């Protein structure tokens, strides 16, 4: 599916952002089962004063999960902190970092939600539609819906539902650790999203692409602060 770069630049007014999100949700395709060779983790860190977002993209190769390439971008935070609209606060920095990569990833793994979102269009879905790249959301907490109980073993999963609709999964990526919340972003179904998350989480609770992106984002923030 073709990217939609016409959906950027990003609105800075919450009302405009809501309107765009409502329209963009109709472009989200929560279907497909890609087998990505290169997975890009996307995460962000903030300056101490909250005025700058440091976006990071880290590409790992599958199945070895070796590091291929990373990039960061510092972008002013022009959108307010509003749950459900993080795409408009962090998305510009994440997209800028992604655009600095020389390797085009086969899948985006975003620290945030995909369709497990009140309007079924979280940051992972937004970035997937904008880029045309399959995307998965991986979050630490729920934004909406309720999760069933998972087993204690690695690989156990339970659906996240809202009003009878399955919008994601709680997934145990490490035995005894808290589950992460996985949802399709774009061009992948829920089973495929869970499979990719487990494949990229061989040792830790957080998938390796997101761990790598987090390290890059924090390093970029700390480097900027020390100047």
Pairwise CA distance, residues 42 & 55, whole Å: 7
Domain boundaries, the chain: 11-225
Q: pLDDT tens digits for 151-167?
A: 999 999 999 999 999 99
Q: What is the DSSP string of 63-125?
A: TTTEEEEEEEEEEE--S---TT-HHHHHHHHHHHHHHT-SSPPSEEEEES-SS-STTS--HHH
Over residues 94-133, the pLDDT tens digits come to: 999 999 999 999 999 999 999 999 999 999 999 999 999 9
224, with CB counted inside 10 A (0-12, 13-18, 19+), is middle
As a whole number of angstroms, the distance between CA 61 and CA 113 comes to 23
Residue 67 in tokens: 């590091």
pTM assigned to the model: 0.96
The mean per-residue pLDDT over the stretch 187-201 comes to 98
Q: Is the pLDDT of residue 1 over 60?
A: no
- Domain 11-225, CATH class in plain words: alpha beta
Tokens of residue 6, six digits: 């016409």
């Amino acid at each position: 599916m073709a990217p939609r770069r016409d959906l950027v630049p990003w609105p800075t007014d919450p009302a405009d952002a809501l309107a765009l999100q409502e329209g963009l949700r109709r472009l989200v395709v929560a279907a497909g089962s890609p087998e990505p060779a290169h997975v890009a983790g996307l995460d962000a860190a903030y300056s101490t004063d909250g005025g700058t977002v440091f976006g990071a993209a880290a590409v790992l190769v599958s199945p070895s999960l070796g590091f291929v390439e990373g990039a960061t971008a510092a972008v002013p935070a022009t959108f307010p902190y509003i749950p459900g609209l993080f795409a408009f606060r962090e998305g510009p920095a994440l997209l800028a970092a992604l655009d600095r990569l020389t390797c085009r990833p086969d899948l985006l793994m975003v620290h945030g939600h995909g369709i497990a979102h009140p309007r079924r269009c979280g940051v992972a879905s937004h970035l997937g539609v904008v880029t045309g790249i399959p995307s998965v959301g991986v979050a630490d907490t729920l934004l909406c819906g309720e999760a069933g109980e998972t087993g204690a073993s690695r690989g156990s999963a339970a659906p996240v539902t809202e009003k009878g609709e399955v919008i994601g999964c709680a997934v145990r990526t490490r035995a005894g650790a808290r589950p992460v919340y996985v949802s399709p972003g774009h061009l992948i179904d829920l089973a495929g999203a869970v499979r990719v998350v487990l494949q990229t989480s061989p040792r830790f609770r957080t998938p390796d692409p997101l761990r790598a992106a987090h390290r890059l984002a924090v390093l970029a923030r700390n480097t900027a602060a020390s100047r």
